[in-house]
């Protein structure tokens, strides 16, 4: 009986570790079907693209609102959004980080704002 309970506990731990809220799949499962979001299979990174169809001058405002919500959920300061929205194409790729996550972004008028979140 003890072996069976130990086995069951091991199975539960394995199942729960696959559904960890510490990766982007666990934290942002609601973004899986959004055109502007791409989450790695292993949950190690997430990409948000405000112009996924690459239409000149287009901007997905839902994606911008989602970026703001992501920053709050991941514990980034409010200044990060200001940095992102003031980035010019000439500035190239920019980065920021906190204790758990790293974020990098770039902006181009024809491509929009592209943001990459990574687990440290």
The model's pLDDT over 67-115, given as tens digits with 9 standing for 90+, comes to 999 999 999 999 999 999 999 999 999 999 999 999 999 999 999 999 9
Residue 6 lies in a domain: no
Q: How many structural domains does the chain have?
A: 1
Residue 16 lies in a domain: no
Q: How far apart are CA 81 and CA 67, in angstroms?
A: 8
Q: Look up the domain containing 107 and give its range.
A: 21-119
Residue 65 lies in a domain: yes
CATH code of residue 110: 3.30.465
Using CB atoms within 10 Å of the CB of residue 108, give its burial: 0 to 12 exposed, 13 to 18 middle, 19+ buried: middle
**Would the pTM of this model clear 0.85, i.e. be above it?**
no
Instruction: Say whether pLDDT at 7 is over 50.
Output: no
């Amino acid at each position: 009986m003890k072996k069976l309970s130990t086995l069951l506990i091991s199975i539960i731990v394995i199942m729960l570790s696959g559904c960890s809220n510490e990766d982007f799949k666990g934290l942002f499962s609601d973004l899986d079907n959004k055109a502007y979001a791409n989450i790695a299979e292993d949950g190690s990174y997430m990409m948000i693209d405000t112009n996924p169809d690459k239409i000149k001058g287009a901007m997905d405002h839902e994606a911008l609102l989602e970026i703001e919500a992501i920053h709050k959920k991941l514990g980034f300061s409010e200044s990060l959004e200001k940095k992102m929205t003031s980035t010019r194409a000439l500035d190239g790729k920019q980065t920021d980080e906190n204790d758990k996550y790293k974020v990098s972004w770039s902006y181009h008028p024809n491509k929009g704002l592209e943001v990459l979140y990574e687990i440290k």
